[in-house]
Structure 1
Amino acid sequence: MADVQRSVSRELDRIAPVIDDLGRRFSDAGHELALVGGPVRDAMLGRQHNDLDFTTSARPEQTERLLQGWADAIWDMGRAFGTIGCRRGEWQVEITTYRSEAYDPTSRKPDVDFGDSLAGDLGRRDFTVNAMAVTVPGRQLEDPYGGIVDLAHQVLRTPGRPEDSFSDDPLRMMRAARFAAQLGFTVAPEVVDAMRAMAGRIEIISAERVRDELVKLVTAPYPRRGLALLVDTGLADLVLPELPALKLERDEHHRHKDVYEHTLTVLEQAIDLEPRLPGGGPDFVARFAALMHDVGKPRTRRFVDDGTVTFHHHDVVGAKMTRKRMKALRFSNDDIDAVGKLVELHLRFHGYGTGEWTDSAVRRYVRDAGDQLERLHVLTRADSTTRNKRKADRLQRTYDDLEARIAQLREQEELHSIRPDLDGNQIMEILGIGPGREVGAAYQFLLDLRMDNGPMSEDDARSALLAWWAGRVS
């Protein structure tokens, strides 16, 4: 407990320029103000925040007036929910009026009622570790629901009955999984039971809110914990059904590995490889591609007469399924295209053998991967989960060789920007034609030639183009 108090005191001293000044401003106007939720929890965990959440007895219009002259910028996009945001220097601040919110069984949006006490406001929060507050400027800790004890035991529990909490806001069920992934905490058994019993309530939540929680979960330090909880409670059946579907019924001779466990292992191995990526991670696209790379297997599994099990074209089928799921979750087109491309290409390397690819095949690998090449490197390496160390080492050495060849060709030929040796204007001038399909066909011919043979001189490209054209028109 002493360590917790020291951590909180250090963090409160660090953010004193905001909390003390703002607290006096509200107190002088006759209003209560308290730092609340994540910043208080993380202060106890020794983590720093520059995004500060407050709760107040003041109504939104009163909060806005009190911030004028103090904040560098003010915004009110959350006014309907009682929230006014602002920025002061390096600090981002959100101040929300005491409230209680509940969902109508058929509505996707909460009905918001303003409350009149800090204790009441804390009681409607998702978990006890987020239901602690520090009043300002007095710096009095308020913990009516035992958040400090639960924090010490690393357990997620609701302030009241979990059934009531999840009925009020079903998204809290996904938040339980997300916080398990972010904090590495255990979810209390009664909370898990309520999630299992009430999983169907998640269907009233908008796809966008579900997506945002899923992104936070996948990019958390321990995503396997959160994903396993979604699967175990049945929530994944509703928000990401492709994941529990990977729990294939094992054939009696266990001729294929557990695809679900394999997938979670690939995800963890992809996370370990994130330092290879620009920015070093967490990288949602790479992680989600690892999570989805084998989702086509259940639909493509076949038992062959000789006793083997096949999953032919599961890469192509899986890419289509991935795009469909991400579209339903309202992901951006850029994210959908990136993840879909990685899933579709994740098996391509296995045609490399022990280095039999021609330079042409290497060029096509790079071109098809495009701006996802580095993530494809990560996914392909992570997809090796064999327990046979000799086989695993051989796969890694082979991929090392492929990367070395890519680097060599890239240095020689600027692989990242492969184009035909003649552009569209030159094609039209040489062939004496105007814009149209013929120009596109000629461009593709020259691009294929460039892939097969590497760079050509303009004269050689011209001769090849004319020969190709003569064959078409003859």
Structure 2
Amino acid sequence: MPEPSSGQDVAELLAAAQVSLGRHHKVLQALGRVFTDAGHSIYLVGGSVRDALLGRLDTDLDFTTDARPEQMKPLLAGWADALWDTGIEFGTLGVGKDGDRLEITTFRADSYDHVTRHPEVRFGDNLADDLVRRDFTVNAMAVRLDPEQPGGLGEFLDPLGGLAALQARTLDTPAEPEVSFTDDPLRMLRAARFAAQLGFTVSPRVRQALTEMAPQLSRISVERVAAELDKTLLGADPVAGVDLMVQTGLGGIVLPEVGAMRMAIDEHHQHKDVYQHSLTVLRQAIDLETDGPDLVLRWAALLHDIGKPATRRHEPDGGVSFHHHEVVGAKMTRKRMRALKYSKQMVDDVSQLVYLHLRFHGYGEGRWTDSAVRRYVTDAGPLLSRLHKLVRADCTTRNKRRAARLQANYDDLEHRIAELAAKEDLARVRPDIDGNEIMTLLGIPPGPAVGQAWNHLKEVRLDRGPLSHDEAVEELLRWWNEQR
């Protein structure tokens, strides 16, 4: 891949690309041979070139070619280990080869109706038209595959200044941003995603277009919006992406509750900037992750205080209160995530963490009983480890003594949990008598009374810990007699 320009930064980028692409030289050379022998040209393109230059290329490789789909399929059928044609109507074939996953698409020259984001698919005749229709210049670079060259790579093509934008870590559009974003408003959310994933900033004209055109996001399906939000939150620096959305107004369309945390603070009623606090909590929660990015934890960290604007009260003494903001926030979280069509499990998990995040703060006011510790663990259930991280991340005070005290209190709570877990199965607190035995002992058929008895015994179990069988029977009969 010949050097397109000079300079130390460019040399470093190209060296990173050579290393990244060198790992794939066999498949690049062989794929280039398949197409050139058939009289076609094929190019590594888009995010694959960008990621190669950044030294972060994985096993997913994107290509574009002048070959039409009906020409590609017979060419690849005998060469590929696996072939997927689910995207063939858009000119795309998926290929599995030697552990790499390749996506090969015919040159595109689509047009848009500017009502939906669905293009009228038209195949193009040249690479230049294909590149100019892409979202950002950093994704509009290409490398021709040439099986006669070392590593199977030929000419580097950068007609739109993508390499310079990559050096500057700037997102700009190949065409006017108003045209690009009108064609496909989802590209505006991609700007936030790339800010989070790659640490890029947006050019002034792109920022202006984002601000002016944010309402056009309403053309995008909520499923696609949610997918971009997830990719943003899973990035290396999701705060950068979230803040770009909020500052430009994109967040007001897709996550209005987050921007609403930027509450006005006057000199008489001081409290933390809830929005900046939430971004700090998100950063600190990420620092506590132990097994890679945790989407549930990150969502909970971002949304944990969204109930504060609705519950803010100015107290007579000049203070500010947010009573029950965790309850309100959990309801708001559930409503927003349902609107974005997240799975029931995802909605339940994130909203439950928001609901529980404040409970620990009663721990420092007096040593909890074993019953309170059991209830904390039981209510958290499988979310307990995430709740530990969220509560610790929620400490953003600059008062070092208070911060140390909060962390020490939580250390103590975790120690209490471990002590109780050593004595009893805290992960599965259940009554000491099951439903069948309840029906036998009380002589009742299945029905609501069985559930009521079961729930009473569970409450007793939480309060008193494990009971012997005789104690459980005695408690059941005592309760039943009271009910009657």
Normalising to structure 2: TM-score of the pair?
A: 0.95
Q: Which residue, 26, 30, 35 being the options, matches 1:21? A: 30
Aligned to 1:308: 319
Alpha-carbon deviation of 1:11? Answer: 2.2
Please give the alpha-carbon distance, in whole angstroms, between the structure 1 residues aligned to 2:14 and 2:200.
21
Q: Secondary structure at the match of 2:408?
A: helix
Deviation, 1:301, is 0.9
1:60 Cα deviation from its structure 2 partner:
1.8
Query: Match of 2:95, SS?
Result: strand
Q: How many angstroms apart in 1 are the aligned matches of 2:54 and 2:313?
A: 50
Tell me the amino acid that sits aligned with residue 326 of structure 1.
M
Q: Distance in 1 between matches of 2:394 and 2:87?
A: 43
Q: State the AA in 2 paired with 1:370.
A: G
The gaps in structure 1 that reach 5 residues or longer are none
Decide which moves more: 393-402 or 3-12: 3-12
**Structure 2 partner of 1:52:** 61
- Cα 1:346–1:301 shift into 2, 3 Å: same
**2:432 is matched by which residue type in structure 1?**
D
| Equivalent AA in structure 2 for residue 129 of structure 1 | V
Instruction: Give per-residue Cα distances to partners, 1:138-173, cap 9 Å, x unaligned.
Output: 422111111111111111111121111111111111
SS in 2 for 1:335: helix
Give the conservation status (yes or no) of the 8 Å contact 1:166–1:173.
yes
1:402 aligns with 2:402: no
State how far apart, in whole Å, the 2-side matches of 1:102 and 1:466 are.
75
Residue equivalent to 1:274:
289
Aligned to 1:33: 42
Q: Which runs of 4+ in 1 moved over 3 A?
A: none
Question: What residue number does 1:88 align with?
Answer: 97
Which residue in the other structure is 2:4 paired with? none
More displaced stretch, 159-168 vs 3-12: 3-12
Counterpart of 1:423, as a letter, is D
How far is 1:342 from its partner? 0.4
Check whether the contact 2:311–2:325 (CA below 8 A) recurs between aligned residues. yes
2:3 is aligned to none
Match of 1:145?
A: 160
Count of residues in Structure 1 that have an aligned counterpart in Structure 2 = 469
The aligned amino acid for 2:13 is V
1:371 shift after superposition: 0.9
Does residue 8 of structure 1 match 2:17?
A: yes
Cα deviation, residue 437, structure 1: 0.7
Equivalent residue number for residue 121 of structure 1? 130
Q: Does 1:292 align with 2:314?
A: no
Q: CA offsets per residue over residues 99-122 of structure 1, 9 Å max, x none?
A: 133432222422221111111111
Residue 248 of structure 1 is matched in structure 2 by: 263
Alignment correspondent of 1:335: 346
- Distance (Å, rounded) in 2 between the aligned partners of 1:271 and 1:469: 49
Map 1:92-241 to 2 at 5 A.
Answer: 92-137=101-146, 138-241=153-256
The question of whether the paired residues in 2 share the 8 Å contact of 1:101 and 1:168 is answered with no
How far, CA to CA, are the matches of 1:63 and 1:18 in structure 2?
16
2:75 to 66, 80, 84: 66
Question: TM-score normalized by structure 1?
Answer: 0.97
- Measure the CA separation in 2 of the matches of 1:102 and 1:334: 39
Q: Can you give the 5+ residue segments of structure 2 that lack an aligned partner in the other structure?
A: 1-9, 147-152
Could you say what the CA RMSD is over the residues aligned between the two structures, in angstroms?
1.3
Distance between the aligned counterparts of 2:466 and 2:112, measured in 1?
63
Partner of 1:457: 468
2:88 alignment partner in structure 1: 79
Question: 96-105 vs 117-126, which deviates more?
Answer: 96-105
Secondary structure of the 1:242 match is helix
Once the two structures are overlaid, the 10-residue window that deviates more, 431-440 or 11-20, is 11-20
SS in 1 for 2:110: strand
Assess if the C-alpha contact under 8 Å between 2:67 and 2:106 holds in 1. yes
Farther-moved stretch of structure 1 (363-372 vs 146-155): 146-155
Structure 2 letter corresponding to 1:172: R
Identify the residue that residue 411 of structure 1 maps to in structure 2.
Answer: 422
Match of 1:258 in 2: 273
Contact 1:421–1:461 (Cα < 8 Å) also in 2: yes
Identity %: 58
2:440 and 2:34 map into 1 onto residues whose CA distance is 74
Q: What residue in structure 1 maps to residue 150 of structure 2?
A: none
CA distance in 1, matches of 2:173, 2:424: 59
Corresponding residue for 1:347? 358
CA distance in 2, matches of 1:354, 1:302: 23
Please give the alpha-carbon distance, in whole angstroms, between the structure 1 residues aligned to 2:98 and 2:347.
Answer: 36
1:71 touches 1:86 (CA, 8 Å); kept in 2?
A: yes
Q: Deviations over 1:163-199 (max 9, x none)?
A: 1111111111111111011111121111101111111
- Tell whether 2:481 aligns with 1:470: yes
Structure 1 stretch 56-65 or stretch 17-26: which is displaced more?
56-65
How far residue 254 of structure 1 moved from its aligned partner, in angstroms, is: 4.0
Q: Is the 8 A contact 2:27 2:98 kept in 1?
A: no
- 1:355–1:401: 8 Å Cα contact kept in structure 2? no
Contact 1:354 1:398 in 2 (8 A): no
Q: Is the 8 A contact 1:108 1:206 kept in 2?
A: no
> Whole-Å Cα distance in 1 between the matches of residues 366 and 292 of structure 2?
30
SS in 2 for 1:100: coil
1 CA distance for matches of 2:154 and 2:435?
A: 70
Deviation per CA, 1:214-239: give whole Å up to 9, x if none. Answer: 10111101111111111111111101
Q: Displacement, 1:354?
A: 5.1
CA shift at 1:62, angstroms?
A: 2.0
Read off the aligned partner of 1:36 and give its amino acid letter.
Answer: V
Counterpart residue number, 2:333: 322
Partner of 2:439: 428
Secondary structure in structure 1 of the residue aligned to 2:298: helix
SS at match of 1:106: coil
* Aligned AA (1:371): P
